[in-house]
Amino acid sequence: MSITSDLLRGHTDTIILRLLLNRDSYGYEINKYISEKTDGAYELKEATLYSAFRRLEENGSISSYWGDETTGARRRYYSITRQGRAVYEQNKTDWEEAKTILDELIKEG
Amino acid sequence: MMKEKITAHIANLFSDVPASRQVNDLREELLANSLSKYDDLIEQGMPPEEAYKSVISGIGDVSGLLSQLRAQKMMDPILIEKSRIRSAVLVSIAVLLFIISPLAVIISDGSKLGMIFFFFLIATGVALLIFNSMTKPRYVKDEDNFVEEFREWQVENRQSKSMRSAISAILWPLIVVAYFIISFFFGQWHISWLIFIVGVCLEGIISLIFQIRMGDKK
| Per-domain boundaries in chain B | 2-71, 75-217
Residues of chain B with pLDDT > 70: what percent? Answer: 81
| Contact yes or no for B26 and A50 at CB 8 A | yes
Nearest by CB to A47, from B28, B35, B60: name it. Answer: B60
CATH number of A2-106: 1.10.10.10
Is B30 part of the contact surface with chain A (CB cutoff 8 Å)?
A: yes
- The confidence score (pLDDT) of residue A108 equals 84
B142 pLDDT more than 60: no
| Contact yes or no for A75 and B40 at CB 8 A | no
Is A57 part of the contact surface with chain B (CB cutoff 8 Å)?
A: no
* Identity of the amino acid at A59: N
- The confidence score (pLDDT) of residue B115 equals 81
CA dihedral B59, A56, A103, A41 (to 10 degrees): 20
What is the tens place of the pLDDT at every residue in B70-125?
766 555 566 677 778 888 888 889 888 888 887 887 787 767 888 888 888 888 88
Instruction: Report the C-alpha gap between B35 and B18 in whole angstroms.
Output: 24
A vs B: CB pairs below 8 A? 66
Residues of chain A in contact with residue B37, where contact means CB-CB under 8 angstroms, are: 28, 31-32
- The confidence score (pLDDT) of residue A16 equals 93
Residues of chain A with pLDDT > 70: what percent? Answer: 96
- The confidence score (pLDDT) of residue B137 equals 62
**Mean of pLDDT values over A65-88:** 88
- The confidence score (pLDDT) of residue A86 equals 94
**Mean of pLDDT values over A33-57:** 88
- Phi and psi at B99, nearest 5°, equal -65, -45
- The confidence score (pLDDT) of residue B174 equals 82
Contacts of residue B71, Cβ cutoff 8 Å, sequence gap at least 6: B142
A-interface mutation test, from B36, B43, B54, B73, most A Cβ less than 10 A away: B36
- What mean pLDDT, rounded, does chain A reach? 89
B-interface mutation test, from A50, A74, A75, most B Cβ less than 10 A away: A50
- The residue with greater pLDDT, A93 or A74, is A93
- The residue with greater pLDDT, A40 or B40, is B40
- The confidence score (pLDDT) of residue B141 equals 47
Instruction: Report the C-alpha gap between B105 and B112 in whole angstroms.
Output: 9
d(CA A65, nearest CA chain B) in Å: 11
- The residue with greater pLDDT, B168 or A106, is A106
**Mean of pLDDT values over B200-209:** 81
Residues of chain A in contact with residue B59, where contact means CB-CB under 8 angstroms, are: 45-47
A45 pLDDT more than 80: yes
Own/partner pairs for B19-24, CB < 8 Å, 24+ apart? B20/B69, B20/B73, B22/B69, B22/B72, B23/B66, B23/B69
- Residue of B71, B56, B52, B70 whose CA lies nearest to B13: B56
B143 pLDDT more than 50: no
Contacts of residue B53, Cβ cutoff 8 Å, sequence gap at least 6: none
DSSP chain B: -HHHHHHHHHHHHTTTSPP-HHHHHHHHHHHHHHHHHHHHHHHTT--HHHHHHHHHHHH---HHHHHHHHHHTSPPHHHHHHHHHHHHHHHHHHHHHHHHHHHHHHHTTT-HHHHHHHHHHHHHHHHHHHHHHHHSPPP--SS-SHHHHHHHHHHHHHHHHHHHHHHHHHHHHHHHHHHHHHHHHH--HHHHTHHHHHHHHHHHHHHHHHHHHHHHH-
CA dihedral A42, A48, A51, A56 (to 10 degrees): -10
- What mean pLDDT, rounded, does chain B reach? 78
| Contact yes or no for B65 and A28 at CB 8 A | no
- The confidence score (pLDDT) of residue B216 equals 64
- The confidence score (pLDDT) of residue B215 equals 66
Instruction: Report the C-alpha gap between B133 and B129 in whole angstroms.
Output: 6
Domain residues of chain A, as ranges? 2-106
- B20 pLDDT band, cuts 50/70/90, is confident
In terms of CA atoms, which chain A residue is nearest residue B60?
Answer: A45
Is B14 part of the contact surface with chain A (CB cutoff 8 Å)?
A: no
CA dihedral B137, B66, A74, B40 (to 10 degrees): 170
What is the tens place of the pLDDT at every residue in B172-195?
888 888 887 777 777 777 777 778
